[in-house]
Amino acid sequence: MKLRAYQTTSVEFLLPRRRGFIVAPAGSGKTIIAAAAASQVAEPFGRVVWLANTREQCEQARAACLRMKWPDPVALDVHCVAARPDVSGADLVIIDEAHHTPARTWWNTVAEAQAVVWGFSATPWSGDWERDAILKGFFGEENFHVVPREEVMAGGSITKGVVVIHDLDQEGEFDDQIDALTAEEVKVRAKRHPYIPRDEHERRARWQFTAEAIRTNVARNGRIIELATHQEGAVLVLVSTVDHGKELEAAIPGSLLVHAKVGKKRRAAAIDAFRDGSLRCMIATSLADEGLDVPRASVLVLASGGRSAGKLEQRAGRVMRPHAGKEFGTVHDFADRGAGLAHNQFKARARTYKRLGYTISTK
């Protein structure tokens, strides 16, 4: 298959390196880059181990490799990292979503790899200096290649982004209740776990009740249901809990909730239905944060909050892939002005939207 110019440049960057890391936006075809580069260094009777985070990513990896001309015979082992595969004896290790490398399960799998190791991610940096230092130390700072977002857009691999902010609450209207619930919960937690610092108890409790206030916000849920019901195109609604997802599923006609505990066959069937257009609205948990490739999706509704720039870029990327008839991807987000902590997290998301160059408006 013919690679785009930025994909060819990325392959050329990797080929001479024993350690290499490609940083490219969601939708740029990182799986294709990895498969193309691997096919050029794979040797007969060699062993290539490909590590991913989800079953869907593993299936995408196998499909990408089938499109490349590999020497025969090559042992291609594609695994979810959770299975803790043995990478010893591999000639090449590919790490999809390699920003997870410093996490314990991932690190225990890849740290001792003596083979060539290439990593791929849209969002390598967490903001945690220790975690980021581990990533740089493992791959080498000189071995990171960044694909500019502008090149990917120019190549037609991602669309323009539009963000609509829904500002529904009175400022601080939930804060008094959150404060009271937090104070009571801290007393309980401090007695139960006296060895944990009180400010840590306070931090955890405050987020617990803030998240609950967001999930139970009547005006917010009403707007989510309205958007998911009436927006044109394929709508993806992201939730933070299965319970919230079930409530929305019951209220949104023709919607279907997908999460990690749904059986593999049912989950695959739902994603396929969303992909081919027979399912108009899919509600999903963190399952959709990485590796969900559904170009038809054009509208994202963020029913969950959070401040992580990396997760937000991954989530928004779900609706930025080109598809026939789609001019741009739309993200619907919420200012959450009623809860101070949630509003601060929204402001962090707003900075990410600006950095990504999305057009922003407020309703």
d(CA 109, CA 95): 11
Give the pTM.
0.85
- Three-state DSSP at 282 gives strand
**What is the pairing mode between strands 75-80 and 234-238?**
unpaired
d(CA 316, CA 309): 10
- Three-state DSSP at 79 gives strand
Q: Are 239 and 248 in contact (CB under 8 A)?
A: yes
Concatenated DSSP letters of 109-140: HHTT--SEEEEEES----S-HHHHHHHHHHH-
Pair of tokens at residue 13:
């960057």
Phi-psi region of 275 (alpha: psi -120 to 50; beta: other; left: phi over 0): alpha
Helical residues (DSSP H) of the chain, grouped into ranges: 5-14, 30-41, 55-66, 104-110, 129-139, 149-154, 175-192, 198-215, 218-230, 242-251, 264-276, 309-317, 340-355
- 133 half-sphere exposure, CB direction, 13 A CA radius: 3
Please report where in the chains the tokens 């903001």 appear, as a residue. Answer: 127
d(CA 235, CA 279): 9
pLDDT of res. 291: 63
Pair of tokens at residue 260:
């990690």
d(CA 39, CA 336): 48
Q: Are 163 and 333 in contact (CB under 8 A)?
A: yes
Interval 103-158: pLDDT, tens: 999 999 998 788 899 999 999 998 899 999 999 999 999 999 999 999 999 988 88
pLDDT of res. 95: 96
Q: Interior CA angle at 53 toward 224 and 42, to 5°? A: 140
Pair of tokens at residue 94:
């590919």
Residuewise pLDDT in 10s, the chain (363 residues): 899 999 999 999 999 999 999 999 988 999 999 999 999 999 888 999 999 988 888 988 999 998 998 887 888 999 999 888 999 889 999 999 999 999 999 999 998 788 899 999 999 998 899 999 999 999 999 999 999 999 999 988 889 999 999 999 999 999 999 999 999 999 999 999 999 999 999 999 999 999 999 999 999 999 999 999 999 999 999 999 999 999 999 999 999 999 878 888 888 899 899 999 999 999 998 766 666 788 899 999 999 877 777 888 888 988 998 888 888 999 999 999 999 999 999 999 999 999 999 999 998
- Three-state DSSP at 321 gives coil
| Listed residue (97, 156, 147, 124) closest to 295, CA to CA | 156
DSSP state of 141: G
Concatenated DSSP letters of 206-273: HHHHHHHHHHT-HHHHHHHHHHHHH-SSEEEEE-SSHHHHHHHHHHSTTEEEE-TTS-HHHHHHHHHH
pLDDT of res. 70: 84
| Listed residue (316, 283, 277) closest to 25, CA to CA | 316
